[in-house]
Structure 1
Amino acid sequence: MRSGGERTENGRVDYQELVDEVCALLGTPATLEGRDFRLIAFGAHDNEDDRVMDPVRTRSILRRRSAPGVREWFESFGITTAREPVRIPPEPAAGVLTGRICLPVRHGAVVYGYVWLLDDGAVALGDPRLDEAMAVAERIGSLLAEEARAGARLGELLRTALAAGTPGAVRELAAALGAAAEGALTVVAVTPWELDTDVPAPLPGASAVCVAPGAPPHALAALTRPAAARAVADRLRGPGRVAGIGGTRHGPLGPDGLSGAWREALAAARTAGAEDRFGGVARWSELGPYRLLTALPARAPDPAVAALLRPEHRELARTAETFLDNAGQAARTAQTLGIHRQTLYYRLSRVERLTGLDLGSGADRLLLHMELKTARLR
């Protein structure tokens, strides 16, 4: 038996190796999730039975997390306090078509995660192979605890560096990161992040994670490689949360690079919350005019446009924005909105009367377009 997973380039443990070891011991697919039910690693499966890939397992693998309802259902079997394997029966209503055996991943009194085994009834809870699998789970628990301690230290250093922005604070963070502070780096911002929500540790792909300083809505900051940024953002965002990815900086890590990437990530997160087309995750490099708009100080709308932004004129504002997004092309705008062209012209004339702006004027169009986009950020 191997002594543990190998460490990757950034010093993280390769938990995939340990999960594969459990799969080999029991001859069944296994997954490793953190205590927050976020996926860490999963074993290959060759079974063509649809029940093996039931909705819960599929969601866990594809979305890197389980739904809150599923988490509550599994926790109802006492897995958060268990020290031995727990058998969980199938429950089609919950999307669990195949039963599970849960191996709690603990270190001392703390549960750090769970190894999930698909259970067709062939493995008895007294099977000596489960004892060996639990030994692997204990090793995983020790490694996760070690990473949690190291992650907490790095997270505090990242928080201090973001708050202070001084060369000394950033140098201390860079020294603790070692080689991870070199090369291409960026920052991911996820907001809003409630203060009582656990900070994921470890977070695959991230070198350091913290709840960033500042007034609500609070944000989570993750220092990561650009190639891993999207995966990190997808792991962290969820219902009601959006994520932004800052521009790439090249190490060694410095104050300007860190603070600049963080500002860009926050701007990208604001934009992701304003524009549905980003799907909840936006990159600084893809923001277009929002790179400028997010840098402007907060202010009241321009007096000419203020009336248009009132709730009762929401449809007129949407029409004007779509018209300007389509470079003033009436046919394309009408098609996008699903209205007759004459209806479009009527609405645009109402916009002109309401604002006093001339949609035939480039300057007036620019003012209106900027105000409509800024209103989304508010």
Structure 2
Amino acid sequence: MIERLPRARPGSAALQALVDDLAEQLGRSVAIDDPLVRMICTSRHFGDEDPVRIRTLLQGRADSDGIRYVLAQGVTQWSGPGFIDGRDDLGLLPRYVVPLRERGHLLGLMMIVAPQQVLTEQETKAIARAARAMSAQMYAEHLATDTEETDARDLLLELLGTSPVARDAARQRALDRGLLRETPHVVVSVIQVSRGQEPSGQIEVALRGAVEGFRQTRSAHGIMAVERDRAILLQVRDRPPGPDELGEQSRRIIEALGTFLDASAAPVVGVGGRQARLADAWTSYEQALVAVRAARRLPARKGVGDWEELGEFAVLLQLPEHALNESLIPKPLRTLTEANDDPRLRDTLLCFLENAGSIPKTAEALQLHRTSLYYRLRQIQQITGLDLDNGADRLILHMGLRIEELLASRADDVRV
């Protein structure tokens, strides 16, 4: 399956020259990928190209199955070069893989097509010499890029911080430097992953790779920050996002992270409320943090929480984690649960409350005769001791059901 994954940044002319020189020496196809196995630059073909290479070049998109396979070989943790087997079902020939490192940083992976998984001593020496030169060149380019990203990250964190004075100063710097512009539509998304089997560095690289393609789009302009196990994306837009635009963006980010990371990463995205001023971006950020908790706790949301769709959950999820426990469930609701193992009464109560106490709508939704519905509602009132015609009593039961829904998923929240 081909997914719409972001491309790696293209390599410099100097790096391309090193790749071309090595390929000519070896008479083999050589490519440099980033740590997420996205192509940075590649040599010409020498008759050894395979379907994976051709698809990548022609479509300009990553083959997600191929990426997953290569990463599953643990190449980003290798201390030295080695071969990976081919996969006929993927159209992938064996490759000689060289991790390109400098001062502890994994900068990329050199991939050399080697169908027989055999290289001469002369070839391996030439590859080692080229790898040292490539690593040095990529490290110099990495330093320049890293400085820019660090500056943008620090500015964004100040813009979303708790100090009004620092926020205002950061906003002005962002405008002066052209990193952001004043628009009537501002939104912040927070992307969070669980710390599973993946090394910390690989998580940060994956987050950056999955999110960076949304900094500049046809409809949005923004900046991002990556910290340990989360990324923050601030976007400004000249027009309001479409009905499902931010949801689709969030799903694409989750899909990309599913390609780059193990399933234990369990990524979620929280989307903050839409704000009308850049000065209020911090509000959208705080809301996005709540939406992340919703995405983690409510499986029905499939990893995406949107503040503007949370309803009463937006209030409940602002409670501290230690306070969100069974003690919050109202006694009348606990009595209903203890008195009747039949889930039909609870289902009827929830449907009734979701339909604002409308008997016709509830009966239709449950496909239940109204006489039977009235009977169930009387049972609920007798057991709970509450009056379903009373707004305050209905609110108690409705909030209790929402709290139970939050508690039903015991997945631990990742600290944000």
TM-score under structure 2 normalisation?
0.58
Match of 1:264 among 272, 287, 302: 287
- Residue ranges of structure 1 left out of the alignment (5+ in a row): 1-12, 54-58, 213-218
2:100 match: 105
1:368 match: 397
Between 107-116 and 229-238, report the one with greater CA deviation: 229-238
Q: Alignment identity in percent?
A: 22
1:15 and 2:14 correspond: no
Larger radius of gyration: 2
Match of 2:204 among 200, 204, 222: 200
2:164 match: 166
1:222-277 deviation per Cα after TM superposition (whole angstroms, max 9, x unaligned): 133267862456555864442201134466x43xx232011110122122223333
Where does 1:54-93 land on structure 2 (aligned, <5 Å)?
61-62=63-64, 66=68, 71=71, 73-75=73-75, 80-82=78-80, 86-90=82-86
Give distance in 1, aligned partners of 2:12 and 2:366: 55
CA contact (8 A) 1:233 1:244 kept: no
Change (3 A) 1:315 1:163: farther
CA contact (8 A) 1:323 1:333 kept: no
Change (3 A) 1:65 1:243: farther
Where does 1:263-302 land on structure 2 (aligned, <5 Å)?
263-294=286-317, 300-302=328-330
- SS of residue in 2 equivalent to 1:180: coil
Where does 1:176-187 land on structure 2 (aligned, <5 Å)?
178-183=177-182, 185-187=186-188
Equivalent AA in structure 2 for residue 166 of structure 1: P
Change (3 A) 1:333 1:158: same
How many pairs does the alignment contain? 337
Deviation at 1:348, TM superposition (A): 6.2
1:178-226 deviation per Cα after TM superposition (whole angstroms, max 9, x unaligned): 32232454322234655984462545145332549xxxxxx73413326
CA contact (8 A) 1:189 1:269 kept: yes
Between 312-321 and 146-155, report the one with greater CA deviation: 312-321
CA contact (8 A) 1:107 1:145 kept: no
1:244 match: 270
- SS of residue in 2 equivalent to 1:81: coil
Runs of 4+ aligned residues of structure 1 deviating over 6 Å after TM superposition are 26-29, 40-43, 50-53, 127-134, 340-349
Give distance in 2, aligned partners of 1:240 and 1:118: 33
Equivalent AA in structure 1 for residue 232 of structure 2: A
Higher helix share: 2
Deviation at 1:63, TM superposition (A): 8.7
CA contact (8 A) 1:293 1:374 kept: yes
- SS of residue in 1 equivalent to 2:232: strand
Change (3 A) 1:131 1:259: same
CA contact (8 A) 2:152 2:225 kept: yes
Change (3 A) 1:361 1:181: same
Relative contact order (C-alpha < 8 Å, sep 6+): which is higher? 2
Change (3 A) 1:341 1:52: farther
TM-score under structure 1 normalisation?
0.62
CA contact (8 A) 1:33 1:113 kept: yes
2:144 match: 146
Change (3 A) 1:236 1:306: farther
Q: CA RMSD of the aligned region, Å? A: 5.4
Change (3 A) 1:343 1:81: farther
Give distance in 2, aligned partners of 1:345 and 1:119: 75
Change (3 A) 1:284 1:303: same
1:332 and 2:343 correspond: no
Give distance in 2, aligned partners of 1:223 and 1:64: 28
- SS of residue in 2 equivalent to 1:189: strand
Change (3 A) 1:65 1:121: closer
